[in-house]
Structure 1
Amino acid sequence: MMNPHPSDALIGLIRSALRLELDGREFYRQAASVTAHPSGKRMFLRLADQEQNHFEELGALFSDLVGVSEWRRIAAEEAANTQKSPIIAQLEAAVAARGHGAVADDTQALRIAMELERRALSFFNGLIEHAADPRQRALLQELAEEERFHYDCLQAQLDSVLNVGIWLDAPEFRLDAKF
């Protein structure tokens, strides 16, 4: 299935996928370093590790398409790219706006993380639509499910931090405004 002469579009796709995972890993490390709560730090570091795992899973997918040596070349170039991600800049701006360099606004970090996961989920779902090989589709679906799981975990954390994560066992109101 390897393409000895990958198209510029395929190379761009690979770079985009890698950048998502690398930016995610860096974002979660940065979020952990500026989050005050120990549980928040642990959660962000765990997510950073999972983004690293996604990076490696992409290696399996894209090595099949472009060959191992081409994959390694592209991955090394992207890993060496030290340009600050817009998502990292967004987190740093949120911390600076709060006025505390050492303590981040946890809810802002969670919201940015959710946006990052939303983008990744959308990206992988788009790839699934165009994947012809069943093995590639399966791997992409697995990656999309992991991004969905990350998003759901972050949403639960945000609900908890905001103290609104309480399930009601009976409706408290009706939509027709009758009690």
Structure 2
Amino acid sequence: MSTPSLLDAVRIVKENERVASDNYAEASRKVDHSRSKVLFEQLSEFEQYHFEKLSALEASLEKSGGFIPYEGKELKLPPIFEIRAAQEPDRKTIMQIISAALDLEEESEKAYSDLANRISDKHGREMFKRLAEEEHKHFQTLTDVYWTLTNLGTWQYSQT
């Protein structure tokens, strides 16, 4: 099995971000509570931001072989809230959505960390480390939601 080039790896993670953005947008349409919708909408917009930055990186690598600056972004979560699980009538579907999102966030974090370790360029290494950190924060937020739904019967998360 051959090792993918940097450009191939960027294309793969870029596609992962598109899928994540689409999945979160779909999740926002499936939940009933307005703040739940906002959480998934924010995650969708964040992953779209990653997609756009990776598209710019892809173009730069194709054109000049150089990295672009990546200033990062903070996830702007709605205020901390608590929703009784009963307010989400299809709890099983919600749990499946969150489980799939957790898997995707974990895979993305690992992919970015692996890329950071492979890159000798300082800006590229910093970019992929920052992307990994951002995906880890998404993972933590979703872990909070999953845990509280499972154990407390409420939909909660902390500001990370």
TM-score, normalised to structure 1's length?
0.63
Gaps of 5+ in 2: 65-88, 154-160
* Distance in 2 of aligned mates of 1:23 and 1:32: 14
Partner of 1:137: 125
2:119–2:125 contact (8 Å) kept in structure 1: yes
State the structure with more CA Rg.
1
Partner of 1:33: 29
* Distance in 2 of aligned mates of 1:67 and 1:19: 20
2:14–2:55 contact (8 Å) kept in structure 1: no
The percentage of aligned residue pairs carrying the same residue is: 27
Runs of 4+ in 1 over 4 A off after TM superposition: none
User: What secondary structure is seen at the aligned counterpart in 2 of 1:119?
Assistant: helix
* Distance in 2 of aligned mates of 1:110 and 1:130: 30
Gaps of 5+ in 1: 1-7, 69-101, 166-179
- 1:23 positional shift: 0.4
* Count of matched residue positions in the alignment of Structure 1 and Structure 2: 125
1:61–1:139 contact (8 Å) kept in structure 2: no
Q: Considering only aligned residues, what root-mean-square deviation do their CA atoms show, in Å?
A: 2.2
Partner residue of 1:46 out of 28, 42, 59? 42
TM-score, normalised to structure 2's length?
0.70
Partner of 2:52: 56
* Distance in 2 of aligned mates of 1:108 and 1:44: 14
Aligned: 1:128 with 2:116? yes
